[in-house]
């Protein structure tokens, strides 16, 4: 605008900013992050820092290659959120190069080649996680058992560096399958559900004292973060509620029909990446629909896909795949599912003038 008086209203702003939103998301992830680092010790912290540093470095590199200024883009917190979500979904003792490659895949393949923030069709963190899982299945399925920070038998700072940069000595002694993976394998070889579950305890799953991804083990802390986002109106209820309901519903029905082979709703909701997925990943603004009705459809489809992949697919966990598949459907949903415009019907035709006589 050349002439200042041609500025349209509003001449006030609501005070919400892009980096403010990103910081709130980081804040909401903080409890689960701290818990994950506490539960898996120094190697987990190393992986987290490496992933974040890598994402920021690749963001800077991509901006430089595109001939854009580094700021404000680098400081808007979006790369930080992406890196954080990716790190929280990785095996906690994964080697350093997983973090470096993951950060690179997420930022370069996931976001910048599409034109940067707001242009990417797929959730960058989940895209990177799936690329890593397919390319490096061994490293991505080695789950360290809990080795709390400063606890006896846990790696110290130097041992932590060794694990991150030189690899885990005596892998089998310090790792095991995740609950989802174990149950999948056991069911696959004909063991009944109750036996496969072993001494699984829902309370423990809720609190998160178990093996799993860096920041996904404590369903409770992630739920708290999610409720914080809801309270601050960073997200709305539509996607998380629809997604959780669409997992719980088929799980409950199938558990009732065939309790020997299908776990119930609580098991599905409290294990793996469901909580993180429902509140933090499926709700990614850029890759989810923007109308409330569209969000319900999208969330429900995500949830249903998670349950289907877990129950009938080849992988024990399906959150990343489900979200990516539905990311692909988002433009379609946004095209077909729009709010009704004032004064028009659902098809966009003007309402007919129905004059009601007052008596």
Positions that interact with other proteins (CB under 8 A): 1, 3-14, 16-18, 20-21, 72, 76, 78, 116-119, 236, 285-286, 288, 290-292, 295, 334, 338-344, 348, 350-353, 355-358
Kindly state the smallest distance separating residue 291's Cβ from other proteins, in Å: 6
Helix 292-312 to helix 238-257 angle (10° resolution) is: 40
Contact call for residues 87 and 99 (beta carbons, < 8 A):
yes
Kindly state the smallest distance separating residue 39's Cβ from other proteins, in Å: 32
In the complex with other proteins, which residue's Cβ is closer, 117 or 266?
Answer: 117
In the complex with other proteins, which residue's Cβ is closer, 118 or 156?
Answer: 118
In the complex with other proteins, which residue's Cβ is closer, 151 or 341?
Answer: 341
In the complex with other proteins, which residue's Cβ is closer, 194 or 236?
Answer: 236
In the complex with other proteins, which residue's Cβ is closer, 69 or 190?
Answer: 69
In the complex with other proteins, which residue's Cβ is closer, 160 or 240?
Answer: 240
Kindly state the smallest distance separating residue 10's Cβ from other proteins, in Å: 4
3-state secondary structure the chain: CCCHHHCCCCCCCCCCCHHHHHHHHHHHHHHHHHHHHHHHCHHHHHHHHHHHHHHHHHHHHHHHHCCCCCCCHHHCCHHHHHHHHHHHCCCCCCCHHHHHHHHHHHHHHCCHHHCCCCCCCCCHHHHHHHHHHHHCCCHHHCCECCCCCCCCCCCCHHHHHHHHHHCCCCHHHHECCCHHHHHHHHHHCCCCHHHHHCCCCHHHHHHCCCCCCCCCCCHHHHHHHHHHHHHCCCCCCHHHHHHHHHHHHHHHHHHHHCCCCCCCHHHHHHCCCHHHHHHHHCCCCCCCCCCHHHHHHHHHHHHHHHHHHHHHCCCCCCHHHHHHHHHHHHHHHHHHCCCCCCCECCCCCECCCCCCCCC
Kindly state the smallest distance separating residue 287's Cβ from other proteins, in Å: 8
Kindly state the smallest distance separating residue 300's Cβ from other proteins, in Å: 17
For the chain, report the end-to-end CA distance as a whole number of angstroms.
54
In the complex with other proteins, which residue's Cβ is closer, 30 or 286?
Answer: 286
In the complex with other proteins, which residue's Cβ is closer, 191 or 286?
Answer: 286
The C-alpha atoms of residue 291 and residue 243 are separated, in whole angstroms, by 16
In the complex with other proteins, which residue's Cβ is closer, 203 or 359?
Answer: 359
How many angstroms from the chain centroid is the CA of residue 207? 18
């Amino acid at each position: 605008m050349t002439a200042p008086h041609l500025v349209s209203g509003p001449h006030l702003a609501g005070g919400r900013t892009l980096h403010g939103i990103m910081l709130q998301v980081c804040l909401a992830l903080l409890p689960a992050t701290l818990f994950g680092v506490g539960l898996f010790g120094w190697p987990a912290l190393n992986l987290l820092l490496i992933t974040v540093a890598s994402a920021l470095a690749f963001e800077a590199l991509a901006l430089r290659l595109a001939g854009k200024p580094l700021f404000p883009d680098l400081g808007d917190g979006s790369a930080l959120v992406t890196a954080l979500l990716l790190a929280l979904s990785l095996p906690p003792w994964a080697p350093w190069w997983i973090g470096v490659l993951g950060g690179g895949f997420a930022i370069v393949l996931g976001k910048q080649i599409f034109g940067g923030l707001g242009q990417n069709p797929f959730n960058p963190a989940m895209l990177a996680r799936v690329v890593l899982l397919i390319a490096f299945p061994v490293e991505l399925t080695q789950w360290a058992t809990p080795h709390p920070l400063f606890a006896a038998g846990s790696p110290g700072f130097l041992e932590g560096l060794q694990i991150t940069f030189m690899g885990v000595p005596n892998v089998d002694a310090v790792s095991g399958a995740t609950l989802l993976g174990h149950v999948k394998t056991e069911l696959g070889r004909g063991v009944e559900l109750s036996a496969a579950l072993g001494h699984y305890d829902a309370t423990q799953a809720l609190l998160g004292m178990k093996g799993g991804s860096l920041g996904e083990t404590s369903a409770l802390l992630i739920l708290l973060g999610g409720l914080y986002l809801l309270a601050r109106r960073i997200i709305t209820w539509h996607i998380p509620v629809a997604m959780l309901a669409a997992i719980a519903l088929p799980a409950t029905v199938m558990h009732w029909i065939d309790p020997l082979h299908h776990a119930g709703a609580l098991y599905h909701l409290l294990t793996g990446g469901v909580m993180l997925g429902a509140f933090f990943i499926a709700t990614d603004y850029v890759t989810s629909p923007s109308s409330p009705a569209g969000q319900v459809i999208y969330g429900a489809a995500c949830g249903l896909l998670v349950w289907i992949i877990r129950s009938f697919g080849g992988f024990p966990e399906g959150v990343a795949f489900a979200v990516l598949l539905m990311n692909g459907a988002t433009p379609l949903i946004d095209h077909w599912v729009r709010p009704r415009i004032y004064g028009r019907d659902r098809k966009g035709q003007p309402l007919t003038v129905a004059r009601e006589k007052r008596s």
